[in-house]
């Protein structure tokens, strides 16, 4: 146990009373140079918000002082909620008067006060800011003769930022800018800042895309030293001794199946039917860990990124293209190093035997989802002839994936049938079409093969009791499930009790499939579930209804997979000592936390930039009429989704044929005079009346 752990353990004892630094040195019998180490540990714990240094110069833990530490979730009206680090505590409401200069995203210490009945949450006051979140803010510049203001894009930052004339740095009115805060706000004044970058005009779509990337601190360009290291790593072929050490699979007709525009091919597959009751499935994953060594420049940069980000017109990769599209990618006709999982699977979908090993493969065919669908679903003669060598294997793959899917269905894995969206851009990045994209046979083949591979690897390393990075999905919150259960009861469906097995939810989704309320139930259920995260501790994955799960199959674009590959390969060589395992335990916890954080950011970036691109596509369609389906109902109106997945808002102020009231229980709007109701799943006709690319908003009116 190190100093930090000893201090925390000591301070959390029931009898502990806050002590001074001198008193702590006496308790721990610390002398000489060790005093510096003790002070350093205290400072680190204070920075992390785990202990507090009081005005009387004493150290204690917040929970013993009626204080709570967490992160502020701001609101444009000036108030905020503290999201406590301790997940067992309720969120705390902070009024604008009690923010004390804190802003959205800041880590703060709050003193809880009274309970507000109308907010149903404890009320508190910010007493200290531990860490600022918004040193740089992205927003729109407005200027007058002697000063200007930046209006933040993130509405959760409730302050406009004052900019003195001498800090304009050539910014013009209605420029999108990055402003650095030089003076933080207090009760009497707004924050003050200086403009450090002019991103562009708000008339330009690309400006808004760039603003989203900057506001989320997305690392778009690789540092020069990382590129140089990547070029060196990718030079030369595979050394002869590496071929000798690995299982040679180059004679097998191993293939990749990906989207037609994919360039980072990190998973290849092979399948054969052994007899009437058994199949062999090989999943072969790019051995990125051979090229990207822990703590080298490429690795540190990859960890900071955590994941690749995929936008409509470009990818922002986790690894430089020399690796992601080059030496690591399982490009056809090239020898590649892989980490393989070969499984024997019976006719019930059970993995009866498996091996995990290092290998060399040569991708026989770079297949696309569309071509495989054409072969399997439409019997396309031309493609069947072109790929005649592997057509029998594709049919075996279809058969096996169906068996695996049936097994998942039987155990209750939840499968949302949401149509995916494909935003199509031209060579300049301009959106030319938006289409609904459905998962077909080929997508399901790869999905099932990756799932069973990930489960197999996770369970193997769980029973070895190794430090690992798991993918977990916690059980839903009982309160949220109670609310969901109460709502679907209005539709004639029931759930048994507050604890629900995923099988029951999957059966519910099957009951509502192709019914008017399908979209409504799917959406509300999704919002009632927690988000999957990475964790160093294994726990069941609720959505997949499986005991063990991890991400092993995409090391080119996800850091946890790369970390897992390193653990597997080092374990194969038997090189772990006790001290190595201790360090690895710390590292897996850090990788899990960082990867979960960066995944959330990537999701937000992809969602926010898609909204901008969709608004761009609809910009010249004002006045056009469409049929759509009500996809959401709120107190301020209803959202309508068109057949191509574009969604817009019919604001309640534009519903002029009656006075509409929102029923929160039934999630519907009803007209007071006409008794007309609107709820999710209703078909309506709309006209596009306004589109804002800047706000990424589309407004409809009912016809």
CB 595 within 8 A of CB 558: yes
Q: Which DSSP helix (H) or strand (E) runs through 425?
A: strand 420-425
Model confidence band, residue 1 (pLDDT cutoffs 50, 70, 90): very low
Of the pLDDT bands very low, low, confident and very high (cuts 50, 70, 90), residue 483 is confident
Q: Is the pLDDT of residue 119 over 80?
A: no
* Residue 368: predicted pLDDT: 97
Residue 545 pLDDT exceeds 80: yes
Residues β-bridged to residue 309: 316
pLDDT in tens, 400-438: 999 999 999 999 999 877 778 889 998 888 899 998 888
pLDDT of residue 588: 97
Give domain 136-202's CATH architecture: Beta Barrel (2.40)
CA torsion angle 369 373 376 380 (round to 10): -120
Summarised one tens digit per residue, pLDDT across range 496-515 is 766 788 999 999 998 888 88
Q: What is the pLDDT of residues 346-399, one digit of tens each?
A: 999 999 999 999 999 999 999 999 999 999 999 999 999 999 999 999 999 999
Residue 661 — very low, low, confident or very high, per pLDDT cuts 50/70/90? very high
Q: Which helix (H) or strand (E) holds 131?
A: strand 121-131
Region of poorest pLDDT, from 344-348, 493-497, 671-675, 680-684:
493-497
Q: In this predicted structure, what is the pLDDT of residue 120?
A: 62
Count the neighbouring beta carbons within 10 Å of the beta carbon of residue 565: 21
Count of helix runs (H) and strand runs (E) in the chain: 18, 33
Q: Do domains 3-62 and 136-202 have the same CATH topology?
A: no
Question: What number of CA atoms fall less than 13 Å from residue 574's CA on the CB side?
Answer: 0
What is the percent of the chain where pLDDT is above 90?
A: 70
CA–CA separation, 212 and 234 (whole Å): 32
- Whole-angstrom distance, CA of residue 100 vs CA of residue 123: 14
Q: Is the pLDDT of residue 469 over 90?
A: yes
- Compute φ and ψ for 37, nearest 5 degrees: -65, -40
| Residue with the two structure tokens 């204070």 | 46
Q: Considering only 7-11, 327-331, 350-354, 648-652, which range has the smallest mean pLDDT?
A: 7-11
What local confidence, expressed as pLDDT, does residue 394 receive? Answer: 98
Q: What is the pLDDT at residue 6?
A: 84
Q: CATH class for domain 66-131?
A: mainly beta
Distance, CA of 631 to CA of 613 (rounded, Å): 20
pLDDT at 446 > cutoff 50 = yes
CATH number of 622-702: 2.40.50.140
Q: Which residues pair with 195 in a beta bridge?
A: 179
Q: 267-302: b or e for each residue (b if 16 or more CB lie within 10 Å)?
A: bbbbbbeeeeeebbbbbbbbbbbbbbeeeebbbebb
Domain boundaries, the chain: 3-62, 66-131, 136-202, 224-471+543-607, 475-529, 622-702
pTM of the model: 0.88
pLDDT digits (tens, 9 = 90+) for 240-275: 999 999 999 999 999 999 999 899 999 999 999 999
Burial of 333 (0-12, 13-18, 19+ CB in 10 A): exposed
The whole-chain average pLDDT of the chain stands at 92
**What is the pairing mode between strands 637-642 and 647-651?**
antiparallel
Residue 261 CB partners (closer than 8 Å, separation 6+): none
Class of 3-62 in CATH: mainly alpha
Compute how many other C-beta atoms are within 10 angstroms of the C-beta atom of residue 588: 23
**Rg over CA atoms, the chain:** 28
The pLDDT tens digits for 65-103 are 888 999 999 998 999 999 998 878 889 999 999 999 999
* C-alpha dist (Å) from residue 628 to 525, 578, 623, 650, 677: 22, 61, 15, 12, 16
Residue 461 pLDDT exceeds 50: yes
pLDDT at 617 over 50: yes
Q: Report d(CA 591, CA 567) in Å as an integer.
A: 13
The most distant pair of C-alpha atoms in the chain lies apart, rounded to whole Å, by 85
What distance in Å separates the CA atoms of residue 412 and residue 542, rounded to the nearest whole number?
9
Which pLDDT score is estimated for 122? 85
| For residue 306, pLDDT beyond 80 | yes
Residue-wise DSSP of 216-262: TT---S--HHHHHHHHHHHSS---HHHHHHSEE-TTS--EEEE-TT-
**pLDDT for the residue numbered 497:** 66
């Amino acid at each position: 146990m190190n100093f930090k752990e000893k201090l925390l353990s000591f301070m959390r004892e029931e009898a502990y009373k806050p002590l001074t630094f001198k008193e702590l040195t006496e308790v721990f019998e610390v002398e000489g140079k060790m005093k510096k180490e003790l002070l350093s540990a205290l400072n680190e714990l204070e920075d992390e918000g785990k202990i507090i240094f009081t005005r009387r110069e004493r150290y204690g833990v917040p929970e013993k002082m009626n204080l709570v530490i967490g992160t502020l979730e701001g609101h444009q009206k000036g108030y905020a909620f503290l999201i406590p680090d301790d997940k067992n505590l309720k969120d705390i409401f902070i009024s604008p008067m009690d923010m004390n200069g804190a802003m959205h995203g800041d880590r703060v210490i709050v003193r809880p006060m009274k309970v507000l009945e109308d907010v149903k949450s404890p009320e508190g006051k910010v007493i200290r800011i531990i860490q600022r979140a918004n040193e740089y803010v992205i927003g729109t510049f407005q200027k007058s003769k002697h000063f200007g203001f930046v209006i933040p894009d993130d509405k959760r930052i409730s302050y406009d930022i004052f900019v003195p004339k001498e800090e304009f740095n050539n910014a013009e009115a209605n420029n999108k800018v990055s402003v650095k805060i030089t003076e933080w706000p207090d009760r009497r004044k707004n924050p003050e800042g200086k403009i450090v970058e002019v991103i562009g005009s708000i008339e330009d779509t690309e400006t808004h895309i760039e603003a989203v990337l900057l506001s989320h601190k997305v690392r778009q360009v690789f540092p020069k030293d990382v590129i140089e290291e990547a070029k060196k790593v990718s030079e030369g072929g595979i050394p002869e001794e590496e071929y000798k050490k690995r299982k040679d699979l180059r004679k097998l007709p191993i293939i990749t199946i990906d989207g037609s525009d994919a360039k980072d091919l990190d998973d290849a597959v092979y399948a054969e039917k052994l007899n009437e009751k058994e199949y062999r499935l090989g999943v072969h994953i790019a051995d990125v860990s051979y090229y990207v060594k822990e703590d080298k420049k490429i690795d540190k940069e990859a960890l900071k990124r955590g994941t690749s980000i995929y936008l409509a017109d470009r990818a922002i990769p986790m690894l430089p293209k020399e690796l992601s599209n080059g030496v690591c990618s399982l490009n056809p006709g090239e020898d590649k190093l892989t980490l393989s999982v070969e499984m024997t699977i019976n006719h019930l979908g059970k993995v009866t035997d498996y091996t995990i090993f290092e290998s060399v493969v040569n991708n026989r065919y770079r297949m696309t989802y569309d071509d495989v669908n054409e072969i399997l679903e439409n019997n396309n003669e031309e493609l069947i002839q072109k790929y005649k060598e592997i057509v029998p294997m594709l049919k075996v793959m279809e058969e096996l994936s169906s068996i695996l899917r049936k097994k998942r269905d039987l155990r209750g894995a939840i499968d949302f049938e949401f149509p995916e969206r494909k935003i199509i851009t031209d060579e300049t990045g301009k959106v030319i079409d938006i289409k609904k994209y459905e998962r077909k046979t080929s997508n399901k083949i790869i999905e099932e093969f990756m799932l069973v591979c990930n489960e197999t690897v996770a369970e193997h390393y769980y029973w070895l009791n190794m430090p690992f990075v798991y993918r977990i999905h916690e059980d839903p919150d009982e309160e949220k499930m109670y609310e969901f259960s109460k709502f679907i009861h209005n539709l004639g469906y029931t759930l048994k009790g507050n604890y629900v097995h995923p099988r029951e939810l999957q059966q519910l989704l099957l009951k509502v499939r192709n019914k008017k309320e399908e979209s409504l139930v799917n959406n509300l259920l999704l919002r009632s579930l927690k988000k999957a995260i990475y964790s160093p501790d294994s726990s069941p994955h609720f959505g997949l209804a499986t005991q063990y799960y991890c991400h092993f199959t995409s090391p080119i674009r996800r850091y946890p997979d790369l970390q897992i590959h390193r653990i597997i390969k080092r374990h194969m060589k038997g090189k772990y000592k006790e001290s190595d395992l201790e360090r690895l335990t710390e590292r897996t916890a850090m990788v899990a936390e960082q990867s979960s954080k960066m995944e959330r950011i990537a999701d937000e970036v992809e969602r926010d930039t898609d909204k901008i691109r969709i608004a761009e596509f609809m910009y010249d369609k004002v006045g056009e009429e469409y049929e759509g389906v009500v996809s959401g109902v709120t107190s301020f109106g209803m959202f309508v989704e068109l057949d191509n997945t574009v969604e817009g808002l019919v604001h309640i102020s534009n519903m002029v044929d009656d006075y509409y009231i929102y029923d929160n229980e039934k999630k519907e709007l009803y007209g007071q005079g006409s008794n007309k109701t609107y709820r999710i799943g209703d078909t309506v006709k709309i006209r596009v009346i306004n589109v804002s690319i800047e706000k990424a908003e589309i407004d409809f009116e009912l016809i």
